[in-house]
Structure 1
Amino acid sequence: MGKVGGILRGLKPYGDKRVVGTFGLGMASGFPLTFVISLMGFWLSYNDVSKADVGLFALATSFYTWKFLWSPAIDRLPLGPITKIFGQRRGWLLFIQGLMAACLLAISVLNPADQLFEVAVFTCAIAFLSASQDIVIDAYRIEILGDEDQGHSAASYVFGYRTANFIAGVGVLLIADQIGWGLAISLLPLLLLPGTLAVLWLGEPTHSRADDEFMEAEAQRAPKSLFAARFREAVILPFKEFSKRDNWLLVLLFILFFKAGDAVASIMTAPLIRDMEFSLTAVAYANKTVGFITLMVGVGLGAALYKQIGMYKALFLSGILMMLTNLGFAWLSVGETEQWRLAVVIGMENFATGLGTTVIIAYMASLCNANFTATQYALLSSLANQARTVLGAPSGFVAESVGWVEFFVYATLLAIPGLILLYILMKKDIAGLKNTHDLEKVNI
C-alpha cells in the first residue's frame, strides 16, 4: 500500500485543472512545428521537390530562433478590445490562432510542384505565427502555476505537444495517401481548439510581478519619459537581469547546443524515408504510431528522472541517448526497406527525444524571472532552436554530397559540444536558477 500510495500522490498534481489545461496548450503549440519541419518534408518530397530545396525550408524555423525579438511586444503591447475583453495573454493567443487557421487553409490549396514560392511564403507565415503563439503559451503556462509545479506543467505540456504531433502526423499522412494533401492540411486548424478551450476555461493568469533587489534597484534608474520607461522595462531589463547572473553565458551556450545533433537529423528524416521508398501508410504506422508510444514513455520517464536522479544526470543521460539514436538512421539507410527496421529506429529516436524535451523544458522554465516570463523564456527557447536553423538549412546539401551514413554520423558528432558544456556545468555545479534555492526543490 505504501508504494501504491506514493504513486498516487505523485500523480495527484496531474489532476489540477491548470495542469490539465496545459495539456491543451501543448496540443495547440505542437502541431504547427510538426507541419513546418516534418509534414512539409513529406509533402515536398512526395511532390518531387529536391532534397536541397527541402533542406532550405528549414530556414522557415528562423522565426522560432528569433522570436525573443518581438516577445516584448506580445508581453506588454495591448490589442485594443481583444486584450481588454480577454486579457493580455488570452487576447494575443486568440488573435494569433485566428491568423494561423487562415494561413493553413490558404496553403492547403497550393501545389508544391508548380507553386513552390507561394508554399514557401505561407510556410514562413505559419512558422512566424507558430513562434508567436509559443511566446504566449509559454508565458501563460508558467504564470498560472508556481515554481513547485513547473515539472508537472512541463510533462503535461509535452504530453499535449506530442499528442498533437501524433494526430497531425498520422492524420495528415493517412488522409494524404488516400484522398490528397489539400484536405489533410485543411483539417489541421482543428488542433488549435484544445488550446483555445483551455484558456477560456482557466481564465487570464492572476500574475503579479515579483519584487526583488534587481527590480528595486532598476526602479531608481527608470527614465522620466513614460514611453522610454516602458520600453526599458519590456525590452532591456529582461536581458540585463539575466546577464547579471553568474556564468550566464555558459548556461546560454549549453541551451544552444544541447539538441543540435537531434535537430539536424530530424530535418533529413523525411528525404531519407522517401529515398528508401517507404509508403506514407508505413510511415504513419512506424514514424507516428510506434514513435508516439515510445515518445510518451520517454516523456513520462523524463519527469521521473528529473526528480529522482537530479537535473544534471537527467540532462546528461537524455543528451547521450539523443546523440546515439542518430546512428540508428545510418543503420536504416544501409539496409532493406522493411517496416520493422523503420519502427525500431523511429521508436528509439522518439524515446530519447521525449526524455530530453521534458527535462530541458522544465530546466528553462526554472530560469525565468517572474517579471519577464514571456521575454526570457522566448530567449531561451529561441536559443534551443537556433542550431536547427543554422545547421539544418544546409543539411540537404551535406546529405547529397556525402551520403546518408556519413550525414547521420555528422549529426551524431554535433551533439558532443552540448555534452561537453553540460559536463562543465556539472563540475562547476551551476544550476543557473533565477533564485538561490537548489533546483532539486522544484518538484516534478
Structure 2
Amino acid sequence: MMERLFADRRQWCNRRLFVTLLLGFSSGLPLALSGGTLQAWFADVDVDIRAIGFVSLMGLPYALKFLWSPLMDRFVPPIAGRRRGWLFICQFLLLATIVMLGSLTPAEHLQPMLWLALLLAFFSASQDIAVDAYRTDLLEVPERGLGAALSVAGYRLALLCAGAGALIMADQIGWQQTYWLLAGLLGLGLLATWLGPTPTFEAAAPRSLRAAVVEPFRDFLNRRAAIVLLVFIVLYKFGDAFAGTLTTAFLIQGLGFSTTDVGVVGKGFGLVATLGGALFGGLLMYRLRLFRALLLFGVLQALTNLSFVGLAELGADTAWTYWAMVGAVGLENLAGGMGTAAFVALLMALCNHHYTATQYALLSALSAVARVIVGPPAGELVHQIGWAPFFLLTFLLALPGLWLLLRLRPVIEQADRDQG
C-alpha cells in the first residue's frame, strides 16, 4: 500500500496543496497575537490583572463568526473573485492591525490596545471563514485529507511562532519589534492568496442576503439524515476532547511529572505527533475513501485513550512511567491528528459550494461544542471516580460516535461520491 501511495506523489505535490499549507499558517498566526501572547506582553510590563482578564474576551469573534459568514457568501469583492478577494481584504486588514498594535505601549495606550486586539480577532475570524471556504472549493476530493492535514500543520506551526517563538523573541528584541516581525510573516498568507488558483468549480453567489442567510440552513436540513449528521459532528471527537481536556493535569497532578517534562513531552513531542498523524492520515486518505478513513481513525482515537488507563494504573515512581508517558502521549496525538484530517475532510464534503463560507462556519462551530462543554464535568468525574476510570469512560464516550458513523455510512459515502 505504501509503495502505491508514494508512487502517486505527483498527485499530492501541487500548487493547491502548497497554498493550503501557507493559508493554514496565515490563519493560525493572528490567534495568539490577540490572546495568549498579548496576555504575556501585558503581564511582562505589570499591567493590572483585571485588564489582563479582558484579553480572554478576544476569543468571542471565533465563536460567533457564523453570524457574519453569510456576508462573505453573498458579496463578491471587486478583486480576485469571491474567495480570494475576501482573503486579500482580511489579510491586509490583519497586517495593518498587527502593525498598529505593535506601535503602541500598554503603559500609555492600554484601552486602545484592547480595542485593537478585539478588532484583530474579528479580522482573524473573518480570515478563517474565507480560508475554510476557499480550501473547500479549491481542493479536489482525493486531496481533501492531505489538504486538511497541511492546513492543520500550518496552523499549529503558526501558533508555535506566535506563541512560544514570540515570547523568546520579545525577550531579545522587545515586544513592539516582535509584533512587527510577526506581521511580516503574514506575507506568506498574501503570497498564498496571490499564487492560489481559482477553484475549478466556483458557484455563483446567493442572489440576496436573505438567501445567503436562510438557504444554507434549508439546504442542509433538507438532506437525508441531516439531524443525525449534526449529532455525529458533535460526537465524533467527543471522547478525544473529553480525555484531552485534563491530560496535562493528569500528568502533573496524577503522576507527579514536572512542568518541564510535560512541556517537552506533552506539548513539544505531542505537537510533533499530532502533525505527523495529520499528515500520515491525509496521505492514507488517497487510498481510503472518506467513510473508511473516519472509521479507522475514529477507532484508533478511542483505543489510544486506553493507553492513559494503563498509565494511570502503572502510577508514578516506577522505572517505566516516563517512557509509558511518552508512548501514551505519542499514540494519543498521532491518532488525534489522523482523526482531525478525516473530520475536516468530512466537513468539506458536507458543504454546498454555493454556501461554503456559511455552512463550514456553522459546522465547525458545532464541532467545537464538545471542547467547550467537557471541562467542568470532566474535573468533577475525576474527583469522584479517579483517573483510571475517567480515561476508561472517555473510551466509552467515543463509541456512540462510531455507532452513528456506521448508521450514516450510506449518507457519507453518497456525499463523498457527489463531490467526486
Say yes or no: TM over 0.5. Answer: yes
Shift of 1:197: 0.5
Deviations 1:6-29 (A, max 9, x none): 233332222221121111111112
Equivalent residue for 2:361, pick from 378, 381, 392: 378
Cα distance between partner residues in 1 of 2:416 and 2:388? 40
Partner of 1:316: 298
Greater shift in the superposed pair: 417-426 or 300-309 = 300-309
Q: Does 1:13 align with 2:7?
A: no
Distance of aligned partners of 1:170 and 1:331 in 2 relative to their CA distance in 1, 3 Å threshold: farther
Deviation per residue, 1:262-297 (Å, 9 max, x gap): 557767788999998746xx8875566433432222
Once the two structures are TM-superposed, the CA of residue 193 in structure 1 deviates from its matched residue by 2.1
Q: Residues 386, 100 of structure 1: CA spacing in aligned structure 2 closer, same or farther, 3 A cutoff? A: farther
- The match for 1:27 is 25
What RMSD in Å do the two structures reach over aligned CA positions? 4.9
The worse-fitting range, judged by mean Cα deviation, of 190-199 and 427-436 is: 427-436
**Maintained 8 Å contact 1:247/1:432:** no
In 2: Cα distance, 1:75 partner to 1:59 partner: 26
Change (3 A) 1:322 1:136: farther
CA distance in 2, matches of 1:143, 1:429: 23
AA partner of residue 377 (structure 1): Y
For the structure 1 residues 248 and 3, does the alpha-carbon distance in structure 2 shift closer, same or farther, using more than 3 Å as the test?
closer
Alignment CA distance shift 1:436-1:364 (3 Å): closer
2:409 equivalent in structure 1: 429
1:222 alignment partner in structure 2: none
Q: Which of 270, 274, 279 is the matching residue for 1:291?
A: 270
Decide whether the 8 Å contact of 2:240 with 2:398 is kept in 1.
no
Is residue 132 of structure 2 the alignment partner of residue 152 of structure 1?
Answer: no
Structure 1 portions without partners, runs of 5+: 216-226
Deviations along 1:301-328, one digit per CA (max 9) or x if unpaired, are 2224544481342342243157457779
Once residues 46 and 413 of structure 1 are traced to their aligned partners in structure 2, the CA distance between those partners, rounded to angstroms, is: 41
Q: Residue 124 and residue 175 in structure 1: after superposition, are their counterparts in 2 closer, same or farther (change >3 A)?
A: same
Moved more, 145-154 or 24-33: 145-154
Identify the match of residue 76 of structure 1 among 68, 74, 93. 74
Please say which of residues 243-252 and 351-360 is displaced more in the overlay: 351-360
Q: Deviations over 1:30-75 (max 9, x none)?
A: 3334556765687788899999999996664443333222111011
**Which AA in structure 2 matches 1:425?**
L
- Whether 1:358 and 2:374 are equivalent positions in the alignment is no
**Does the 8 Å contact 2:245/2:374 carry over to 1?**
no
Q: Say whether 1:142 aligns with 2:136.
A: yes
Q: Distance in 2 between matches of 1:53 and 1:414?
A: 37
State how far apart, in whole Å, the 2-side matches of 1:32 and 1:326 are.
33
CA offset at residue 167 of structure 1? 3.3
**CA pair 326-272 structure 1, distance change in 2 beyond 3 A:** closer
Q: In structure 2, what residue type is equivalent to 1:290?
A: F
Which 10-residue stretch deviates more, 185-194 or 362-371?
185-194
Cα 1:46–1:291, aligned 2, differ >3 Å: closer, same or farther? farther
Give the count of matched residue pairs: 410
- Deviation of the 1:300 alpha carbon: 2.3
**Identity value in percent:** 33
* Residues 1:257 and 2:257 are matched in the alignment: no
Shift of 1:90: 2.1
CA spacing shift, 1:75–1:3, aligned 2, 3 Å = closer
* Distance of aligned partners of 1:175 and 1:377 in 2 relative to their CA distance in 1, 3 Å threshold: same
Q: Is the 8 A contact 1:58 1:389 kept in 2?
A: no
Equivalences for residues 154-233 of structure 1 within 5 A: 154-176=148-170, 183-205=177-199, 207-209=201-203, 230-233=208-211
Contact 1:65–1:386, Cα closer than 8 Å, also in 2: no
Counterpart of 2:218?
Answer: 240
Correspondence 1:65 to 2:70: no
Q: Is the 8 A contact 2:145 2:345 kept in 1?
A: yes
CA contact (8 A) 1:139 1:374 kept: yes
**Quick check: 1:322–1:349 contact (8 Å CA) kept in 2?**
yes
Report the counterpart of residue 126 of structure 1 in structure 2: 120
TM-score by length of 2: 0.75
**Separation in structure 2 between the aligned mates of residue 278 and residue 426 of structure 1, nearest angstrom:** 41
**Distance of 1:274 and 1:420 partners within structure 2:** 30
SS in 1 for 2:189: helix
**Taking structure 1 as the reference length, what is the TM-score of the superposition?**
0.72
